Structure 1
Amino acid sequence: MEATFNTIYGRNLICELRNFVHRPYLVVTMEELWERFEGAFDDGLVGPVFASSMDVEMLEKALDGLPPAECIIGIGGGRAVDTAKYFAWRTRLPLFQIPTSMSVNAVFGHRAGVRQNGQVRYMGYAVPEAVYVDFDVIQSAPAHINRSGVCEILCYHTGHLDWAYADRLGKCEAKWPYDQRLVDAARQRFDLVMTHLDDINAVNETGIRALMEANRWGGATFHNAGWNPRHIEGIDHFVFYALEYHTRRPFLHGQPVCLA
């Protein structure tokens, strides 16, 4: 079985963090989320640090101003958990991650999706002590944000078509020759999500587990396949990156990916 991040499902998981994480602890989150979660922490807290930019230069400047801490807690969507991941990589501190929606698989990936000279780069390496999926927290996110997470899995279909097409043309990258084993493994997660579309649409516990388990595998397989993304994404992600680059504006990840 491929190694994936230790993932815990339950309720009241954020409030429990203060009872066991290393102290003092630094919370990395989004400014708009902090009012909601601030009361879950005690005098062991330093920060918080609000994730505002994924630009490498901005992250390095923020890194210089971090207060002393013994661990990092990331709470939020892709930007927050990737910022926490980047800081954990640069400081070599233990990391605990709490996604607040199902919109992306970033919480399950080893590298942080940063921006360097306006281009997407996947940088660093961090493995959290655990990822905590709180049903109440996920269900409180806007439904369209949660549902957009299926696009992280639906794009496997495009990736498989693109990879097979490149193979037929003899244009596969030498380091990523077509591998039916990887395609079949990805297809299992694709089929799992397709089987539970109604549950994911309802954002019930069954749907949360189905989509998060698929993203758990998908986030880790990039590393587990030798940094090979061919079985989990195709032209869809490049359309998203191009849109972001040319418009200079952020997007809800799943929407342009699924559009493509």
Structure 2
Amino acid sequence: MLQHSDTLIHSTKIDTTKILETRIVLDTLRLPSNQSLDLIGKVDTFYNNAWSKLIWFVATLVTLGVIVIPILIQWYQRRQLQLNKEELKTEIKKEFEETLLELKQKNQENLAELRTEMEILAKGIGANATAYIAMQAKRYEVATNSFANAVHALLYSNDLLNARIALSNWKKCLNAEGVTKNKILTYAKNMGGDYKKKVREIRELVVDNDIINSLNEIDAIFDALPEDNQEEK
């Protein structure tokens, strides 16, 4: 009986020792397992954070692509349109000012030409009136030179109608009684003119055949006039 009890006690001690050893082994094995789980947790947390950041980054890019970039494009297009409008306005203003300046210059030139023509026409009308009065007074040398001046001024002003009338009266004066070359030439010289030179200047202005024919007749009549014996004064 005592022997059996000793055997049981000894067996119990062995079992207790084994249990303790087993616990020690388990404790020893449990420590690396916890570290592994902790490492796995950290890795899982890292990948979860990385995935969240990736999703956030992609979402940000999508937001930029869908909302921000179109807004930037619209702003850029509006800016370019505004710049183009300003450039167009500047160009139109410049062209308008240049055109206006050109028109002003042309108007000034036209006004100057018109003023000159009006002055010459006025001289022509005045000379024509003087010639007609002299013709009525039978001062044919005066009338002849005045009609020559009138024809020149009227042709320069393109007043062909009055020029033809003056040419007709000019021929009448040359055909009048008592008219001579020297009287006509002397009067022109005394008035600071040159009868023959005036006739040449008239021919330079003529493009009308009827007027050319009239001038030819006038030259023929003048050439046929007597010289007379008076000296030129």
**TM-score, structure 1 normalization:** 0.21
Q: Specify which structure has the higher proportion of helix.
A: 2
Q: Report the TM-score when normalising by structure 2.
A: 0.22
Bigger fraction of residues in strand: 1
